Amino acid sequence: MGKSMAGHLMNAGYPVHVYTRTKAKAEDLLEKGAKWADTPKEIAQNCDVIITMVGYPKDVEEVYLGAEGLVAHAKEGSYLIDMTTSSPQLAQKIERTAAERNIATLDAPVSGGDIGARDAKLSIMVGGSESAFHDMEQIFSKMGTNVVYQGKAGSGQHTKMCNQIAIASGMMGVCEAILYAEKAGLDPENVLKSIESGAAGSWNLSNLGPRILKGDFAPGFYVKHFIKDMNIALKSAEEMGLLTPGLQLAKKLYDELAEMGEEDSGTHALYKRLANQG
Amino acid sequence: MGKSMAGHLMNAGYPVHVYTRTKAKAEDLLEKGAKWADTPKEIAQNCDVIITMVGYPKDVEEVYLGAEGLVAHAKEGSYLIDMTTSSPQLAQKIERTAAERNIATLDAPVSGGDIGARDAKLSIMVGGSESAFHDMEQIFSKMGTNVVYQGKAGSGQHTKMCNQIAIASGMMGVCEAILYAEKAGLDPENVLKSIESGAAGSWNLSNLGPRILKGDFAPGFYVKHFIKDMNIALKSAEEMGLLTPGLQLAKKLYDELAEMGEEDSGTHALYKRLANQG
């Protein structure tokens, strides 16, 4: 996703420096004229706006708060934007630490996946200071069509958690409905025709349902990343004193799915866990 | 719903006879020219096509298979269409019994609710013999826009169960996402703006989410009826040897919601059960 997003910024005329752990992934951008940096620190020292899209919260923490990280080495008055789906609490910690050096930070996770990134149609959920959001709005608009300021630091991440919470239980419903249809001897494609336009309708049912029926479990969005996100959401909900039984059950089923060796499948592979009632 | 549906048939020129336990509910239809019947038996003896929309499977069983019921008294060659959401197994039993008297039956539950019935935009899911379906297709088309033949007797009911299964877990996701947003101090309306058009999007999120935020828990679809449907789905899944953990959890939460006195609220009142974490 990072590659597509950086490409849109280059197409819009922004000079782009890139760093990634696997340089080969940046080749296309480098051929288009992006400048290579050997370390995050080098990015920090050279850029006014830095956008990160990494893996897990521990990666975010290292890239931002490590001794060789962005916060320690970014220029005063620069902007750091983390578009990784990560911990709201970590986003708040990063903001506090960066503020001491007069550096603005935004947490701005996205939804829309590879396709949304490629087509510059991401939904971008932004937390942090409102003035920093307005300063960066032009940049966000090159990558997404649904850019919404959600409030103080961490609010972008919290909003993404709402997104993942709705998906988690929703996917159970989609997979159980399709399994039921098959067990009952129905034609599941006909069932989708009856139910997808009504109250049972959802993005997952219409977009991933047909892929389940074809036995196509390629990601879209990886099981392993969804588990990461659900872990963040559960921890965050727990810290707020909120019980989320649907999310808890979905997380348990996804953990069992990963144990079945499906962590690199798409999220709709939950069907396989539910079908596996040995 | 029955009143709206019968009204469409009258508008299309069909002569309509009506019976309902509470005659007052039929007044509008009687004023428009419908003929009153004092018993289901009287309907059976006078009509070529009989459509039922009652409450629970036990009501369906009584109306169809009771000594004074439709199957015992309907004319040979007539059609009996049950549009109640009811048990797939009961639909099969009714078909077998009716076939002995050369009466065709269809199970044809609907989705789309009061509004779909009023606007003749129901989704109608039909099980039974395909020739009977084709004979009745014109009649269905007066009440719905999405009329799909799903297969042998019981298949309409099974399809409706798929619909309810998808909704059950989906509603947990919607309610937990909104609760999380509120607990996190977000503006839930802004959260909906960020998430409803993407992978978390669903009919429930877009249509019932805003009503949850307004504290408007009027039904749409009653909690007590949804519990009835989930009971049918769980029993049916069990008979097929299918575990549906999401549905099981949703059913448990809805039972607890009913115990809170909310059985006459709309299904989105599940929010109240999840908010009630005393």
pLDDT at B277: 83
A28-49 pLDDT, tens digit per residue, is 999 999 999 999 999 999 999 9
- Can you say whether the dihedral through the CA atoms of B150, B152, B157, B163 is positive or negative? negative
Residue A277 has pLDDT above 90, yes or no: no
Catalytic one of A3, A32, A121, A160: A160
State whether B181 and A162 contact (CB < 8 Å): yes
Distance CA A250, CA A171 (A): 8
The overall average pLDDT reported for chain B is 97
State whether B173 and A168 contact (CB < 8 Å): yes
The C-alpha R_g of chain A, in whole angstroms, comes to: 20
Nearest to B174 among A88, A161, A166 (CB): A166
A204-215 pLDDT, tens digit per residue, is 999 999 999 999
B32-54 pLDDT, tens digit per residue, is 999 999 999 999 999 999 999 99
- Can you say whether the dihedral through the CA atoms of B132, B137, B138, B140 is positive or negative? positive
Catalytic one of B3, B41, B160, B251: B160
Contacting residues of B for A111, CB less than 8 Å apart: 194-195, 198-200
Report which secondary-structure segment, H or E, holds B166.
Answer: helix B155-183
Angle between helices B245-257 and A155-183 (to 10 degrees): 110
pLDDT at B113: 83
Nearest to A245 among B197, B201, B249 (CB): B249
State whether A163 and B200 contact (CB < 8 Å): yes
Give percent of chain A with pLDDT exceeding 70: 100
Contacting residues of B for A241, CB less than 8 Å apart: 183, 277
Mean pLDDT over A145-162 rounds to 98
The overall average pLDDT reported for chain A is 97
| Nearest-by-CA chain B residue for A124 | B194
State whether A162 and B193 contact (CB < 8 Å): no
Nearest to B176 among A169, A181, A240 (CB): A169
pLDDT at B239: 95
Residue A278 has pLDDT above 80, yes or no: no
- Do residues B266 and B218 lie in contact, with contact meaning Cβ atoms separated by under 8 Å? yes
Nearest to A184 among B158, B184, B187 (CB): B158
ipTM higher than 0.85?
yes
Nearest to A191 among B162, B198, B205 (CB): B162
CA distance A207 to chain B (A): 9
Question: What does the block give as tokens for A241?
Answer: 């004193």
State whether A180 and B170 contact (CB < 8 Å): no
Report which secondary-structure segment, H or E, holds A40.
Answer: helix A40-46
Contacting residues of A for B204, CB less than 8 Å apart: 199, 202
Reported as a pLDDT band with limits 50, 70 and 90, residue A123 is very high
Q: Would you call B160 a catalytic residue per the annotation?
A: yes
| Nearest-by-CA chain A residue for B113 | A199
Nearest to A176 among B150, B190, B244 (CB): B244
Residue A114 has pLDDT above 90, yes or no: no
CB pairs under 8 A between A and B: 268
Contacting residues of A for B184, CB less than 8 Å apart: 88, 154-155, 158, 161, 236, 240
| Nearest-by-CA chain A residue for B196 | A163
State whether B202 and A207 contact (CB < 8 Å): no
A97-108 pLDDT, tens digit per residue, is 999 999 999 999
Contacts of residue B116, defined as CB under 8 A and 6 or more positions apart, other chains included, come to A198, B110, B122, B123, B144
Cα distances from A233 to residues A48, A155, A197, B181, in angstroms, run 31, 13, 30, 11
Distance CA B30, CA B38 (A): 13
Cα distances from A30 to residues A23, A36, A82, A124, in angstroms, run 10, 7, 22, 25
State whether B158 and A181 contact (CB < 8 Å): yes
pLDDT at A55: 92
Contacting residues of B for A199, CB less than 8 Å apart: 111-113, 163, 167, 203-204, 207, 221
CA distance B164 to chain A (A): 7
* pTM, two decimal places: 0.96
| Nearest-by-CA chain B residue for A146 | B194
Mean pLDDT over B106-133 rounds to 95
Contacting residues of A for B190, CB less than 8 Å apart: 148-151, 159
B152-185 pLDDT, tens digit per residue, is 999 999 999 999 999 999 999 999 999 999 999 9
pLDDT at A121: 95
Contacting residues of A for B169, CB less than 8 Å apart: 169-170, 172-173, 176, 246
CA distance A63 to chain B (A): 26
* Among the ranges given (A107-116, A187-196, A257-266, B248-257), the one the predictor scored with the smallest mean pLDDT: A107-116
Distance CA A250, CA A170 (A): 9
Partner residues linked to B49 by β-bridges: B79
Reported as a pLDDT band with limits 50, 70 and 90, residue B80 is very high
Residue B186 has pLDDT above 80, yes or no: yes
A61-74 pLDDT, tens digit per residue, is 999 999 999 999 99
Cβ neighbour number for residue B12 with a 10 Å cutoff: 14
Nearest to B201 among A149, A203, A250 (CB): A203
pLDDT at B278: 66
pLDDT at B115: 87
Contacting residues of A for B191, CB less than 8 Å apart: 150, 159, 162
∠ Cα B130 B135 B141 (to 5°): 100
State whether A166 and B240 contact (CB < 8 Å): no
